[in-house]
Amino acid sequence: MNYFCNPLNLSYKYSFIRPSMFSKKSVTREAADPSMVLFHGRYYLFASMSAGFWVSDDLAKWEFHSLKNVPIHDYAPDVRVIGQWMYFSASKRGTLCSFYRSKDPIHEEFEEIPGTFPFWDPNLFWDEDGKVYFYWGCTNIEPIWGVELNPNNMTMIGEKTGLFYGQPELHGFEKNGEDHVLPEPKTLSEKMMRNFLGTAPFIEGPWMTKHNGKYYLQYAAPGTQYNVYADGVYESDHPLGPFSYAKNNPFSYKPAGFITGAGHGSTFADRLGNWWHASTLRISVGQNFERRLGLFPAGFDEDGHLFCNQRYGDWPMPLKPEKADPWAKPEWMLLSYGKSATASSFVLGNEPELATKENIRQWWKPQSPKPGSWLNVDLGQIQDVRAIQINFADDALKVPLPKKALVGGGVTGKRFIDERQHATRWMLEGSLDGSTYFLIEDHSRWTTDLSHDLVIRESGIRVRHVRCTIIEVPFGQTPCLSGLRVFGIGTGPLPPNTTGTTVVREADLEARIRWNPDAAVGHNILWGFAPNRLYHSQMVYEANELLLKALNHGQDCFIRIDAFNENGITEGEILPLR
């Protein structure tokens, strides 16, 4: 069986960014705005600021290929299949944007179809009748646009049509800010940016999917740097509308967990007919556009509602060789949350325990960049371990721009995308007593360029202590681990049912949910527009309260609280929120 765990273990590329109104000087890894398609039996993944694309036969193992003679410094590369051709386009506001196509992107370059109009966040759609449509938009003042294109030269047929605007007063998930709350600007640059951008959410990243004769136009909001970055969807019986706001919104929403954000994505079916949604995940510490990619089970229910399962969206997931249940519970539970951790050394403020707190935005950092620094997690007892995810972080990198670097332009300022293969080497060991260790995985001689890696032991290993020793990381920086995450099968009792639950609608788009404190590791708050449509979720640790701000105007809601621990999940009672 193949497995993956978000964020995907891809060779994310470093970008050297010069300062602009939208960004500070930085060196961080970035990939975002994924277009994932099935082409000639293989999966192709294109993403912003990657200078290339990844190809996979199984959605688990990916190989990188460089892109040439296409605008790699333009954001939101869109890739769609039309017949035997793969079409590529990318964003360039204020400039005529070309289309590109290839029958074999791995071995042949893309040929250019000269552009005739400008666009931002493009999406091409080939309908079953052979007609081609195009959607674009990335702004907080304009709508998502749509138009039919002439497939021979990619010119507009007729005038573009405004399809819908953002409506944060009606759609809670579109409200701007961290947890849907905009902070007051503190610095001069923050004030200048607020004056320039305003407070309205960005409506962006369209993606069209057709299913059983219905058109699903997806879009992202409110901003890629926030934990609540999400994808919503409008529905229609015609590719250019009129469109109606779907009941199940936002259909892709992951505001909590180890890594947050689930916006600006693509929806596709695999070779077996399973649906998936690829989307942008947020780090945004070293720079606002420091991002990763995620993949989630998706689908359409019997009433045609598009959904995406993110209940345990950054835990290991199997890729079964048959049609799968998109709502299957996780096979392995999280064993490492809040567990005791020790290290060879640490910097004050970057203690070892941060690597077990399920937050990719904070990390353990040793005092020295010298090889051999180690982090040890004590699971508290001998456990049946099936998977370990290792997550490296970049802490305030200060690296000079490589000599003779070709620098491109973009909304975030001048940048250089570093295509070099960087070295990441480490060794993973286990122990039953914290004294005698055995080898689990040895990457000390095997060089990879993966900032996130997943070690699978499907048959299980008995472990109490998990130790990661770091040999080398890119640029000779001091190594940092944001997560040494351990998953497996517990042998104790399930958590008890959650008690004392109250749900109160404090405002049109907000509800406060409370429950009695208990001994569960965490809780998953599920909600939806019907008792059997609890498609949304938010994970909570070390709390017994959640202010939910992603409701829709005038829509009934139903809520369930599931408790989970290292042994499994106990589902709660469904309560109405009128």
End-of-domain residue from the set 294, 319, 344 = 319
The whole-number pLDDT of residue 93 equals 82
Residue 457's domain comprises 333-489
User: Other C-beta atoms within 10 Å of 45: how many?
Assistant: 24
Among candidates 102, 73, 63, which has minimal Cα distance to 85? 102
Q: Are 432 and 382 in contact (CB under 8 A)?
A: yes
The whole-number pLDDT of residue 409 equals 66
Strands 230-236 and 575-577 turn out to be: unpaired
End-of-domain residue from the set 319, 350, 371 = 319
Low-confidence ranges of the chain (pLDDT < 70): 20-23, 404-406, 409-413
Assess if residue 35 is contained within a domain: no
Assess if residue 517 is contained within a domain: yes
For residue 269, with 0-12 CB atoms within 10 Å meaning exposed, 13-18 middle and 19 or more buried, which class applies? middle
| Residues contacting residue 410 through CB under 8 Å, at least 6 positions apart | 73, 74, 75
Q: How many Cα neighbours within 13 Å face the side chain of 76?
A: 26
Q: Are 125 and 112 in contact (CB under 8 A)?
A: no
Asked if residue 510 and residue 436 are part of one domain, the reply reads no
Query: CATH code at 389?
Result: 2.60.120.260
User: Other C-beta atoms within 10 Å of 359: how many?
Assistant: 17
Kindly state the tokens that stand for 253: 């929403």
The whole-number pLDDT of residue 406 equals 61
Query: CATH code at 69?
Result: 2.115.10.20
Residue 174 sits at φ, ψ, to 5 deg, of -85, -10
Asked if residue 70 and residue 176 are part of one domain, the reply reads yes
Q: Are 70 and 58 in contact (CB under 8 A)?
A: no
Kindly state the tokens that stand for 140: 């907080």
**How many helices (H) does the chain have, and how many strands (E)?**
1, 42
Asked if residue 353 and residue 232 are part of one domain, the reply reads no
Asked if residue 227 and residue 102 are part of one domain, the reply reads yes
The whole-number pLDDT of residue 4 equals 98
Assess if residue 23 is contained within a domain: no
User: Other C-beta atoms within 10 Å of 374: how many?
Assistant: 19
User: Other C-beta atoms within 10 Å of 263: how many?
Assistant: 31
Assess if residue 181 is contained within a domain: yes
End-of-domain residue from the set 285, 319, 353 = 319
User: Other C-beta atoms within 10 Å of 420: how many?
Assistant: 10
Q: How far apart are CA 335 and CA 376, in angstroms?
A: 14
Asked if residue 120 and residue 61 are part of one domain, the reply reads yes
pTM: predicted TM-score of the whole model, two decimal places: 0.96
The whole-number pLDDT of residue 499 equals 97
Helix (H, G, I), strand (E, B) or coil at 440: strand
Q: Are 80 and 132 in contact (CB under 8 A)?
A: no
Give one word for 404, left, alpha or beta, with left for phi > 0 and alpha for psi -120 to 50: left
The whole-number pLDDT of residue 183 equals 86
Beta pairing partners, 388 = 455, 486
Q: Are 55 and 42 in contact (CB under 8 A)?
A: yes
Q: Are 515 and 500 in contact (CB under 8 A)?
A: yes
Asked if residue 356 and residue 305 are part of one domain, the reply reads no
Query: Side chain identity at 156, as an amino acid letter?
Result: M
Asked if residue 512 and residue 392 are part of one domain, the reply reads no
Assess if residue 91 is contained within a domain: yes
In this predicted model, what pLDDT tens digit does every residue of 283-327 receive, in sequence order? 999 999 999 999 999 999 999 999 999 999 999 999 999 999 999
Q: How many domains does the chain have?
A: 3
DSSP line for 327-364 = TPPPSSEE--TT-EEEES--BTTB-GGGGGSS-TT--B
Asked if residue 414 and residue 299 are part of one domain, the reply reads no
Q: How many Cα neighbours within 13 Å face the side chain of 508?
A: 9
Query: CATH code at 521?
Result: 2.60.40.10
Asked if residue 243 and residue 197 are part of one domain, the reply reads yes
The whole-number pLDDT of residue 126 equals 98
Asked if residue 440 and residue 364 are part of one domain, the reply reads yes
Assess if residue 394 is contained within a domain: yes
Among candidates 385, 231, 361, which has minimal Cα distance to 288? 361
The whole-number pLDDT of residue 20 equals 65
Asked if residue 208 and residue 164 are part of one domain, the reply reads yes
Kindly state the tokens that stand for 403: 């000599």
Assess if residue 6 is contained within a domain: no
Asked if residue 290 and residue 163 are part of one domain, the reply reads yes
Query: Side chain identity at 155, as an amino acid letter?
Result: T
Assess if residue 202 is contained within a domain: yes
The whole-number pLDDT of residue 190 equals 78
The whole-number pLDDT of residue 411 equals 59
